[in-house]
Amino acid sequence: MGISSSGLISGINADELVSGLINLERQPITILQNRQKDYELKIASVLDMNTKLSSFKSALSALNSSSKFNTKTASVTKTSDGAELLTVSASSTATAGSYSIQVNQLAAANKKASNGQVDENTTAIASASGSFKFKVGSGGSVTTVSVNSSITLQGLRDDINSANAGVTASILNDGTGSNPYRLVLTADDAGSSNTIYITQNDTNLDFTNKKIEDAYAYTTNGYGGTVTSNSGTNSSTYAGNV
């Protein structure tokens, strides 16, 4: 029968001795692994710094022109009901400040009224055949409406409207006296360039000094001058005026 003994008999723990020797042999590897982690952290930090420097360089490149430091902006204060009535923009040479726009006069369509007539659809307004000619604007084309001894106020109104010549005719009963019915001519478009001119009138109607409303142009005071438009709106661009 064989006899064996463990290390415990000699006072030596063989397992601990082997484990200690293994750990001693692994120390260089552990040191290298720790150094590798340190280097990886340093590399990550360098890469992060490089990314941030690249972004900073791009931001600086956008500022390489003096115009970047001389940018002007413009805004419009809305009306009390929230409407924004115009648009503005500012160039690099614009003078800083606040400017106001004041409407001096709204555009209005020209209207002319005749003298009064006893009725609108019975009494003739011409004593013989002839023409009623008119135009819109000093350089406009002349429109001719034929009249005869039986044409009434209503008939002339309808013939003018059928011509579609930029003028609308209507009959106004002003309620005054025995001749309350008047023929009213209204320009379809507002503004001084759309004034109505009667070039021939072979009727008994008198339009002299019977105008109802002048053809006013829309005007507004702006910075550097006055802007004028022949309509109630203005879509043009005026440098330096607002």
Q: Is the pTM of this model over 0.75?
A: no
pLDDT at residue number 137: 94
Residue 174 has pLDDT above 90, yes or no: no
Predicted confidence (pLDDT) per residue in 15-63, tens digit = 776 676 677 677 777 777 788 888 888 888 888 888 988 888 887 777 7
Tokens of 203: 């009727």
**What confidence tens digit (pLDDT) does each residue in 117-164 have?**
999 999 999 999 999 999 999 999 999 999 999 999 999 999 999 999
Q: 68-103 burial string, b = 16+ CB within 10 Å, else e?
A: eeeeeeeeeeeeeeeeeeeeeeeeeeeeeeeeeeee
Who wins on pLDDT, 35 or 4? 35
Residue 6: pLDDT over 70: no
pLDDT digits (tens, 9 = 90+) for 75-87: 778 777 877 777 7
